[in-house]
Amino acid sequence: MGICTSKPSPNSTLFSPVALQAKDNSIPTNDTAIPDPATASLNDHTSKTTVEPVKKSPLFPFYSPSPAHRFFSKKSSPARSPARNAASANSTPKRFFKRPFPPPSPAKHIRAVLARRHGSVKPNEAAIPEGSETGGEGLDKSFGFSKHFGNKYELGDEVGRGHFGYTCQAKFKKGELKGQQVAVKVIPKAKMTTAIAIEDVRREVKILRALTGHNNLVHFYDAYEDHDNVYIVMELCEGGELLDRILARGGKYSEDDAKAVMIQILNVVAFCHLQGVVHRDLKPENFLFTSKDENSQLKAIDFGLSDFVKPDERLNDIVGSAYYVAPEVLHRSYGTEADVWSIGVIAYILLCGSRPFWARTESGIFRAVLKADPSFDETPWPSLSPEAKDFVKQLLNKDPRKRLTAAQALSHPWIKNSNDLKVPLDLHIFKLMKAYMRSTSLRKAALRALSKTLTVDELFYLKEQFALLEPNKNDAISLENIKAALMKNGTDAMKDSHIPDFIASFNALQYRRMDFEEFCAAALSVHQLEALDRWEQRARCAYELFEKDGNRAIVIEELASELGLGPSVPLHAVLHDWIRHTDGKLSFLGFVKLLRGASSRILAKAQ
């Protein structure tokens, strides 16, 4: 959860709710409604087209609603992290990165969703007056943090203030680090008026403690508390935001410079995902440079909206910043893939200086994210390499199943030839392997045929992943290899994400080995291959191989059993064209459906 480091304007009337509302009334509001039913919940409490004055929620002071006037106000007031230097005061601009504009939507939970989650918020409930806090009586605001902040640190000047706290510089008082500058996020306990607000602070600190040991992650020192405040102490990054540098370059990077940024972002996000942590608010403002040096290291910050996610779990809170939010977040069913979408938006901005999805209102942005396709026809895209365009397109695939993972993106042809690049271990392969081991012999044969069509570039990622599992002298892996690799690359966050429990369920690998050829069949993603060009040609080539080695006569009832279809499914109506009438073997259509795996949606379409 960020803290704003922009100071309040001395001219309060300029930004008063009345002035802002008057200004916004002149702006067309034709796109304030979201017709898509999946996002209708975002407007549960905002059916009017006029913009209402800014109000703090009395029950959720950590999150501010995002009325349309925030898109157009000249005041810069994004959610900020304590890791920032005071000099960094820009915020995300509008579509083109020519000069600093205010953020289109601060990082937040969408208010309507939080209201339903709490179950008691009314849309027109009175706001808490500025400077006063009520509620929260009876809540346990003791976090168990150290109470010796004042003994270790000398608190310096305030460098920013947000809706729920403020940021200060500080320095160590004693010891080996005496005099070293740090950043401190100070969160008043009086602001914590709900159990959700308290839990958000507790979870942020827990994640910062657990995620350790990565060079592109802001260093966390410790968390403290006293009767009045919580203090989160972190590394002070003095090089400014990634956004600052984008603006300084007039809106775009060269391909080589964009690659350097992408490698650092993908590396740290892949690390987080391996630990079972999803950031949920990736944007240029949340990446800071350690110094002003042109080649200084980039650090990911602001884990206030982050959460632990199990490998087989889907989250449903609608959180983040509007321009960077993934479609599946708006559909309220998402995992770590949502972070990769946000990275795709950042990559698009770095390469061309404009946003892939843009509108004048938040609901318009959401509709664009859900329905529109980014443009690759405008300048400078025609002059960029085909690999760069393909990279961005694969990150911005609206289907999260077809989107690259962060580790896969590091093995993309546009990225992988960079110096000293190491592809990190990817939790995604274990999900695919688990599905493979649960598959029938017929589907395994189909996947083996498909794996033989993989290109050199596609095999590069799988070879890297297999090598990270450290196969034995016979070039094979077992469950012990997987456990050892996770232990080698894991942090305490893995326990909270229940990743060891997920891996422990790999019973099929307990007493057998898997060589590289079978690993390729087990760890490939059919959905990702479907998203590539010439899928039809690849699938037919795989089918020809399957005809030679794996296809066999099968009756509809056996196929239904293979797919796990229940007695309620009208088998002949659904599966009749999956089997050839001439010899009773799988048809090409049946082969492709078998590769994808049966789902209620596919079966519904077939009917």
Mean pLDDT of 258-287: 97
Q: Which of 222, 281, 307, 339 is catalytic?
A: 281
pLDDT in tens, 278-332: 999 999 999 999 999 999 999 999 898 999 999 989 999 999 999 999 999 999 9
What is the per-residue pLDDT for 398?
A: 98
Mean pLDDT score, 160-171: 82
Cβ atoms of 170 and 183 within 8 Å: the answer is yes
Question: Token pair 């401190």 is at which residue?
Answer: 184
CA distances from 421 to 230, 256, 392, 529 (A): 39, 14, 19, 24
pLDDT of residue 150: 94
In this predicted structure, the answer to whether residue 71 has a pLDDT above a threshold of 60 is no
pLDDT higher than 60, residue 49:
no
Residue 93, pLDDT score: 46
Q: Please state the residue numbers annotated as binding site for ATP.
A: 185
Dihedral through CA 515, CA 516, CA 522, CA 528, nearest 10?
180
Q: 558 Cβ partners below 8 Å, 6+ apart?
A: none
| Residues of each domain in the chain carrying CATH 1.10.238 | 438-477+506-606
CA 268 – CA 60 distance, rounded (Å): 30
Q: How far is 539 from 529, CA to CA, in rounded Å?
A: 9
Residue-wise pLDDT tens digits, 370-396? 999 999 999 999 999 999 999 999 999
Query: Binding site: residue ranges?
Result: 185
Between residues 435 and 577, the one the model is more confident about: 435
Q: Given this model, what pLDDT does residue 120 score? A: 37
pLDDT at 163: 67
Q: How far apart are CA 581 and CA 555, in angstroms?
A: 10
281 among known catalytic residues: yes
Whole-model pTM?
Answer: 0.79
Average pLDDT of the residues of the chain: 80
- What mean pLDDT is predicted for residues 433-455? 93
Mean pLDDT value across residues 490-517: 88
pLDDT at 546 over 70: yes
Side-chain-side CA neighbours of 567 within 13 Å: the count stands at 0
Spatial distance between the Cα atoms of 147 and 228, rounded to a whole number of angstroms: 11
Domain spanning 242-410 has what CATH number? Answer: 1.10.510.10
Number of H helices, E strands in the chain: 25, 13
Q: Which residue has the higher pLDDT, 4 or 578?
A: 578
Determine the pLDDT at residue 98.
42
Q: Where in the chain is the domain with CATH 1.10.510.10?
A: 242-410
What CA–CA distance (Å, rounded) separates 402 from 419? 28
Quote the CA–CA distance of 413 and 392 in Å, as a whole number: 12
At residue 553, the pLDDT reads 82
What is the CATH topology of the domain spanning 438-477+506-606?
Recoverin; domain 1 (1.10.238)
pLDDT digits 0-9 by tens, 99-109? 333 344 444 44
Provide the pLDDT for residue 568: 73
Is the pLDDT at 511 greater than 60? The verdict is yes
Give CA torsion, residues 199, 201, 203, 209, to 10 deg. -150
**Between residues 131 and 321, which one has the greater pLDDT?**
321
Q: To the nearest whole percent, how much of the chain has pLDDT over 90?
A: 58
- Mean pLDDT for 498-519 is 89
Angle, alpha carbons 52-55-56 (nearest 5°): 155
- The reported pLDDT for the residue numbered 82 is 52
CA-nearest of 554, 577, 557 to 565 is 557
